[in-house]
Amino acid sequence: MYVSNANKILQLFLLLLPIAVPKGSHSMWLLATYIKGQMPFPEFSYVAMLDDVRIMYYNGETKTLHPRGNTTAEDDVFDSNVLLRISDYIYTHFMERLEVAKQNLNETDRYLVLQRLVMCELKDNGEPGQMITRDAVRGSTTDELSYDDNKFTYQGHLNVPAPVLNFHLEISKSRHEILYRPYCIKTLKGYMERRKNQVHRKVKPKVRLIQSYGGFHVSCLATGFYPRHINLTLFRDGQPVADHEITGGDLLPNGDGTYQMRKSLEISAVKHIYTCSATHLSLDNKLDVTLEFDHGEPFKSVIPSVLTVLALDVVWSCMLV
Ligand SMILES: *[C@@H]1O[C@H](CO)[C@@H](O)[C@H](O)[C@H]1NC(C)=O
Ligand SMILES: *[C@@H]1O[C@H](CO)[C@@H](O)[C@H](O)[C@H]1NC(C)=O
Ligand SMILES: *[C@@H]1O[C@H](CO)[C@@H](O)[C@H](O)[C@H]1NC(C)=O
C-alpha cells in the first residue's frame, strides 16, 4: 500500500521534470515536494540537480543537506547557510499554498502533494539564461514565474485575491533578482567545474529492433545513452513511418543515469523492411538497424546496402510470443 502510494507520488514528481533546456546549455534544478498525509518519507524535502545528475538531497524534517556523489571536493561549491535560508522560504511558501489548497480539499483526499520546481540555466556562451519557478498541486501546474533578460513573466490561475497575489509576486520577483538567480548561477558554475566529466560524458546508445506483443508489433529500442537528446526514426521500406502510426517515444531514465527510448509500430501480414535509425551526440554517423518482418515468425534478412550497423548486437526478444 505504502509502496504503491509512494510510487504514485513519485510519478507526480516526474510530471514536472521536462522543461526544455536548449541543447548545449546547462541547468541547475531544485525539485521541492510537500506531502500532506501519511508517508514513509519526510513531509518536506527536495533534491537539487545539475542537468540530470542528482547532487543534493534536503530532508525537511531534520533540516539537513545531504550532498550526493563526489562530495569531498564540493564543500566549497555551495554556501549551505544561504541554501538553508532558501529552504525555509520554500517551506513557508508551501505553508501558504497549503492554506489556499485546503479550501479546495474534500473528505476523500487522503494526500495532498504540493511541488515547486526552480530551474536556472547557463547558456553555452557562459551567460545566465532563463530562470523558471513552477508550482504544482497534485502534479498539475498551477502557476509559473519566469525570469529572462531581466524580464518577469507570470502565468497562473490561483484562487487568491489580486492584491494578495501581487504582494507575493513582488516579494518573489525581488528574491529572484537579488537571491535566487545569482545564487543558482554561481552554484551551477561551481558544480559545472567539479562535475564536468560527468555532465559532458557521451555514452552510445544500443539500438535494437524487436518483434513484440505476439509478433504483431515491431519496436525500436535505444537504450543506455547519455546525454538525453536522441533522434529515433522508424522507416518502413525506406520511408519514414508517420507519427500517428507510432506509439511510445517517451524518454525514460535507466537506473544508471543513462536513458532509453522505445518506438513501436503495428505490423501487417505483408513483409516489409523495417529500419530503426538513431542519431546521437555520441555517434559520428547515424546508427541503423534493418530487418525484414511480417507478423508471423520473424526472420532475419540482412540488406548490406542499407545496413550500417556499427558493432551491433541484434537481439531477438520473443519473450511475449
Ligand atoms: C472529491 O474529490 C474527488 C477526487 O478528486 C472527486 O471525484 C469528487 O468529485 C470530489 N467531491 C466533491 C464534493 O468535491
Ligand atoms: C572528485 O573530485 C576531484 C576534484 O575535483 C577529482 O579529482 C576526482 O576525479 C573526482 N572523483 C570522481 C569519482 O569523480
Ligand atoms: C535531431 O534532429 C534535428 C533535426 O534534424 C537536429 O537538429 C538535431 O541535432 C538532432 N539531434 C541529435 C541528437 O542528433
Same domain assignment for residues 227 and 152: no
- Please give the pLDDT value at position 320: 28
Cβ–ligand 3 contact at 281 (below 6 Å): yes
46 and 190 belong to one structural domain: yes
- The C-alpha atoms of residue 15 and residue 136 are separated, in whole angstroms, by 10
Whether residue 180 is found in the same domain as residue 258:
no
Same domain, yes or no: 155 and 32:
yes
Centre of ligand 2 from the C-alpha of residue 70, in Å: 6
Tell which residue, 237, 227, 238, has the closest CA to residue 261: 227
**Sheet architecture: strand order including 151-156:** 64-67, 53-59, 44-50, 26-36, 112-122, 128-137, 140-148, 151-156
Domain final position from 168, 199, 230: 199
Please report the atom of ligand 3 found closest to the CA of residue 230.
Answer: 13
Quick check: CB of 240 below 6 Å from ligand 3? no
Last residue of a domain, one of 199, 219, 241: 199
User: Does 49 fall in a domain?
Assistant: yes
Q: Confidence class of residue 21 from pLDDT cuts 50, 70 and 90?
A: low
Q: Specify the higher pLDDT residue, 179 or 100.
A: 179
Verify whether ligand 3 is closer than 6 Å to residue 279 (CB atom): yes
Indicate whether 68 pLDDT > 90: no
- pLDDT at residue 112 in the model: 84
Q: Would you state the pLDDT for residue 302?
A: 42
Whole-number Å distance between alpha carbons of 307 and 21: 33
**What backbone phi and psi angles, to 5 degrees, belong to 299?**
-135, 155
Indicate the SS3 state at residue 42: coil
Q: Per the domain annotation, does 316 fall within a domain?
A: no
Q: Is residue 321 part of a domain?
A: no
pLDDT tens digits, 132-153: 999 988 888 889 999 988 899 9
Read off the C-alpha cell for 13.
514528481
Q: Does 305 map to a domain?
A: no
- Span from the CA of 104 to the centroid of ligand 1 (angstroms): 9
Q: Report which protein residue has its CA nearest ligand 1's atom 7.
A: 108
* Inter-residue contact 304 to 199 (CB < 8 Å): no
Percent residues over pLDDT 90 in the chain: 45
CATH of the domain at 108: 3.30.500.10
Pocket perturbation via mutation, ligand 1, pick of 104, 108, 113 by most ligand atoms within 8 A of CB:
108
Q: Is residue 186 part of a domain?
A: yes
- Same structural domain, 13 and 154: yes
Look at ligand 3, atom 5, and give the residue with the nearest C-alpha. Answer: 231
CATH of the domain at 228: 2.60.40.10
**What is the layout of strands, in order, in the sheet containing 206-212?**
206-212, 217-225, 259-266, 246-253
> What is the per-residue DSSP string for 236-248?
ETTEEPPGGGEEE
pLDDT for residue 211:
85
Q: Residue 315 pLDDT > 50, yes or no?
A: no
Give the residue numbers spanning the domain of 267: 206-299
- Same-domain status, 72 and 159: yes
Please tell me the total count of domains within the chain: 2
**Which residue's C-alpha comes closest to atom 12 of ligand 2?**
70
Looking at 179, 199, 219, the residue that finishes a domain is 199
Q: pLDDT at position 296, please?
A: 63
87 and 233 both lie in a single domain:
no
Q: Is residue 312 part of a domain?
A: no
Question: Do residues 175 and 224 share a domain?
Answer: no
> Is residue 50 located within the same domain as residue 195?
yes
| Domain identity same for 133 and 235 | no
Average pLDDT, the chain: 82
Ligand 3 centroid–CA 141 distance in Å is 29
Residue 124 lies in a domain: yes
- Tell whether the model's pLDDT for residue 301 goes beyond 50: no
| Same domain as 223, residue 91 | no
**Residue 309 included in any domain:** no
